[in-house]
Structures are given as C-alpha cells and as structure tokens.
Amino acid sequence: MEKKSLRDVAVSGKRVFIRVDYNVPMDKAGNITNDTRIRATLPTLKYLLENNAAVIIGSHLGRPKGQKVPEYTLAPIAKRLSELLGQEVKFAPDCIGPVVTEMAQSLQAGQVLLLENLRYYKEEEKNDAKFSSELAGLAEIAINDAFGVSHRAHASVEGITKFIPAVAGFLMEKEISFLGKAVSNPARPFVAIIGGAKVSDKIGVIDNLLSKVDTLIIGGGMANTFIAAQGYQTGKSLIEGDKLELARELMDKAKTTGVKLLLPTDVVIADQFAADAQHKTVGLDAIEADWMALDIGPATAAKYAAALKTAQTVVWNGPMGVFEFDAFAKGTEAVAQAVAASSAISIVGGGDSIAALEKTGLAEQISHISTGGGASLEFLEGKVLPGIAALADK
C-alpha cells in the first residue's frame, strides 16, 4: 500500500488542512488528562511549519452527535498545543462558515489555526459533500494524520479528498508501514495476542489472523467462551452462549492451518465483579458455580510469555483480564512484560492494552503503539480503510 506522504508534496506557501485525532481524555474541569495523541502529531506539524506551510487543524472530541455541546470544545486543546509547539495556536469559534474562512485565508506561513469540533455538525459523520467542500475550501492540500478515524468514511477523512489532493502525515505513514508489514510480510515466528471481553467483537480479526500467524494467544473475557466450548463449566463467567460453535470452528481452523492456538489452562476466579472480591487461582475443571473467571492464571501467563520469547513479530490487542482491578491485572502485566522483553517487532493497539503498558512503564520498549483501536482491528481484519484508500497513490 504505497501512499504519498507529505514528503511527496510541496507545502511551502500553501494552506494545509490536517485531520488529526485529538479525541483526548479530559476531567470534569476540562483539563486534558493524557496528551499522547496530541504529542503524536508534533513531527508532522513541525515539518509543516519548518517548510513554511500555513496549518489548519481539524479534529473531533467526544460524541456531540451534531450538536454544539460546550463540554466538547477543542479550546483546551488549542492551549495545550500552543505549549507543545512553543507558539500561539489560533482557535476558530467554528469549523466552517465566513468567520472561519476569513481566519484561514488570513493565516500566514508558519502559523497554526485549530478549528472547533468537526462533529458539532452531523454532516461530518454523514460524509456530506457540501460540508466536505467547505472544509476543502479552507486549504489547498489535505493531510490525514488521524489513523484512529480512518476506518470511517467521514467528511474530513474521506469526503475532503474529492476536492483537494490528500496525502498521509508521518503518524499515518508509520501506522501503514508497521501494520501493513505485519499483515502482508511479517518476520517469523509471528505471534498475535488477542484479548478483551467478547469473541463477537474480534471474530474477523481472529479469523483473518489464523491464516497469517504462527501462534495465536487468546485471553480476556473472550477466552471464557473458548473454555466453555471445550466443555468446561464456567460458573458466572462472562461467556457468549451463541458463539460456542464459532469458538469450536476457530479451534478446528487453527488445527487445520497448523497454527498454535494458545488458550488458558488456569484462571483467577472471583466471587463477585469487584476490586475487593475474594479470589483464587484454579484449573479449568475447578471453576465454581457462583464464581467468575476475571484473569488468566500464572501458569497460563508463563505459557504465553514462553511463546513470545522466540517471536520476531508480535501484535497485541486487548487485555488478559479485568486489569482495572489490581487483583486481576497480573495476567495483562505479565504479557506486557513479555512483549516488552521480546526482541520482536512489537505492535500494540487498543486503549486497554496501551493503558496496561503505560501502567507498567513499558510503553518505551514497544516498536509501535497504534493510535487507532477500531481502525487497527479493521486493518488486521484485512478490511480496506476508507481514509487510507482515499489518499493519493505514490
């Protein structure tokens, strides 16, 4: 997938619209609690400024659903971005309209303008042509540096490309490079770790990866469905009863394709879903009727870590247990440590997996942390992402 990046276009003296993903967590007072997504775009923004572009930034925040909801204003982001860039970031009171057009047209080379929340307009998510053309009218070139929304055909992501040429930013380029290589030409052994609550959320990914990986590791709530599919009693554990047959089919597919499918052999069970629940480690044949599995056990964690030792490519998406509760975070932490210690090219996606890495202080030891949860999953499923497909080919 050879797409043009901003290195392939002349930006000097041009007004450039850049779509970013500044959907960052904030507290009730409107303070940004984690600015990772903002910092991730700095290389692209600095390149544009050093090359004399006038930079117009568009993003969404939260789910205002086409309404101007004050709590979803991007004003605090303009302030934080000004600090990170060491220069004033002008803030537009809207993202389209005569005031915004005037602000964009008077923007000088080396200046930055952040637009108000794109999703204040329902036309953004509907990929409305008129809205797309209004956004395009602000600039001469579009850059997509928002991998996290590229699985959505939205106006600022896909629609705008019908009116002005569009290329990838450095963050997008990195995502395409790492994930693309993992899917099409991975260094082997290739190990994928898939966790999270439900099999149904990740069927497509598991199915696609079974034709690509050497080893597939399953953890989290979804592992309970595989445990039940093997005939074990799972007590009050979260399972998807309507997905038992599918779990068996996936186990059979692993056998026929020669993929090592690693499933838990022991689990940490609890008497209730709570941080202070009574808990103990048991084998799969000893899950009690009124208890629930909330983490993989230590023997399983050790087995998973051993499989990662020889890996040359690792993709990880989803926690191994209810890692928000310390008592049930040990499986996820053990996997995080094993991925970080591995000499493999490691790619981690999904908010919970990234949060676990940050909690353990291991994020720096990962080759690539993907900024897109849903987008990285769809990429790994082999789906075409509209935001990437719309970019100019090399």
For residue 383, the model assigns a pLDDT of 82
Is there a single domain that holds both residue 311 and residue 229?
Answer: yes
pLDDT in tens, 261-303: 999 999 999 999 999 999 999 999 999 999 999 999 999 999 9
Q: With beta carbons less than 8 A apart as the criterion, state whether 214 and 199 touch.
A: no
Is there a single domain that holds both residue 192 and residue 305?
Answer: yes
Q: State how far Cα 374 lies from the chain centre.
A: 6
With a pLDDT cut of 70, the percent of the chain lying above it is: 100
Residue where a domain stops, chosen among 143, 170, 197: 170
Is there a single domain that holds both residue 80 and residue 198?
Answer: no
Is there a single domain that holds both residue 217 and residue 164?
Answer: no
CATH number at residue 63: 3.40.50.1260
The mean per-residue pLDDT over the stretch 314-320 comes to: 93
Q: Which of 141, 193, 206, 223 is nearest to 392 (CA)?
A: 141
For residue 197, the model assigns a pLDDT of 84
pTM of the model: 0.85
Neighbours of 67 (CB within 10 A): 11
Which two structure tokens, joined as six digits, stand for 363? 């994020």
pLDDT in tens, 10-31: 999 999 999 999 999 898 888 9
Is there a single domain that holds both residue 52 and residue 67?
Answer: yes
For residue 347, the model assigns a pLDDT of 92
1 pLDDT more than 70: no
SS3 294: strand
Query: CA–CA separation, 66 vs 318, rounded Å?
Result: 30
193 pLDDT more than 90: yes
Is there a single domain that holds both residue 280 and residue 163?
Answer: no
**Residue 75: domain span:** 6-170
216 pLDDT more than 80: yes
Residue where a domain stops, chosen among 170, 205, 234: 170
Domain tally for the chain?
2
> For the chain, what is the mean pLDDT?
94
373 pLDDT more than 80: no
For residue 172, the model assigns a pLDDT of 94
Question: Has residue 329 been placed in a domain?
Answer: yes
Residue where a domain stops, chosen among 155, 170, 185: 170
Is there a single domain that holds both residue 330 and residue 293?
Answer: yes
Catalytic center residues: 37, 198, 351, 374
pLDDT in tens, 127-153: 999 999 999 999 999 999 999 899 999
Is there a single domain that holds both residue 143 and residue 39?
Answer: yes
Is there a single domain that holds both residue 257 and residue 192?
Answer: yes
Question: Has residue 214 been placed in a domain?
Answer: yes
Query: CA–CA separation, 283 vs 285, rounded Å?
Result: 5
Is there a single domain that holds both residue 81 and residue 198?
Answer: no
pLDDT in tens, 82-97: 999 999 999 999 999 9
